[in-house]
Amino acid sequence: MPVSGEIDHEGPDPVYVQLAAILRARIGSGELPHGRALPSRERLAAEFGVSRGTCEKALAILREEGLVKTSFGRGVYVTKRP
Amino acid sequence: MPVSGEIDHEGPDPVYVQLAAILRARIGSGELPHGRALPSRERLAAEFGVSRGTCEKALAILREEGLVKTSFGRGVYVTKRP
DNA sequence: GCCCATTTGTACGTATGTATG
DNA sequence: GCATACATACGTACAAATGGG
C-alpha cells in the first residue's frame, strides 16, 4: 500500500483504505503526535477531495487499530505514542 | 413465494424479492407493528448476509406497496396497520 | 441556564464498477 | 446481452454531545 499523500481515485485500492494509510503514516511519523486532534470529517473531506462518509470509514479503521480515539462532539484524538 | 425467514441464495427467486417477502410477512404478522422503525440497511445486510444494495431494492418494493415510509436521514417506518 | 456553531454518529438515496450465471 | 449481487463512493439529512459566549 503506497502512501503518496494523495488519493488515487482510479487505483485498485479503495479510497477509504488509502486515506487510512495516509493518516496512519502521519501518526507513525509524528506529524500527528499523541494527543493531537485530527481534522474533522468536514476538513478531511475538503483536504482530500472525498466525501464525509469515506472519511468516516477511514477513521473507523484507525479506531479499530487503536491508533485514535473519538470523543463525541469534540473530535478524534491520536492515542498512539510514537 | 415461501417465506421461511431465511434467504436462499440458490433458489429461483432473487434475493431482494425474498427479502421483501420476509419483511412483508413480519409487517403482516405484527412482528413489525405500525410506526415501528425497520432495521437500517446496514443491519438488514448483516442479519441476512446480503449487500446494502440488495436491501435497498427490497425496501423499494415495500415502499411502492405502501407498507413502509422513509424518513430521509432517520429510517424506514411501518405505515401499514395490522 | 440558554443559544449556537462544531463535531460525531447514523441513515437514506443514488450512481458506478465489477463479477457471475 | 441481461439480471442479479456486491463493494465502493458521493451527497444529503437528522439527532445528540460538546463547548463557548
- Let me know if residue B65 belongs to a domain: yes
What is the extent of the structural domain holding B46?
A: 15-78
> CA geometry: angle at A63 spanning A29 and B37, to 5°?
155
The structural domain count of chain A equals 1
Residue A31 is part of a domain; what is its CATH number? 1.10.10.10
Q: What is the mean pLDDT of residues B21-32?
A: 92
Residue A5 confidence (pLDDT) above 80: no
- Let me know if residue B9 belongs to a domain: no
List all residues 6 or more positions away from B53 whose beta carbon is below 8 Å from its beta carbon. none
Question: What's the rounded Cα separation, in Å, for the pair B4 and B48?
Answer: 12
B36 CB inside 7 Å of strand C: no
- Nearest nucleotide to B68 (CA to C1') is C12
Q: What is the mean pLDDT of residues B40-61?
A: 91
pLDDT at B57: 92
Q: How confident is the model at residue A37 (pLDDT cuts 50, 70, 90)?
A: very high
- Let me know if residue A71 belongs to a domain: yes
- Nearest nucleotide to B54 (CA to C1') is D5
- Let me know if residue B61 belongs to a domain: yes
- Let me know if residue A39 belongs to a domain: yes
Residue A39 corresponds to which cell in the numbers above?
481534522
Residue A23 confidence (pLDDT) above 90: yes
Residue A15 confidence (pLDDT) above 60: yes
* CA-to-C1' span, A68 to D20 (A): 25
* CA-to-C1' span, A54 to C21 (A): 32
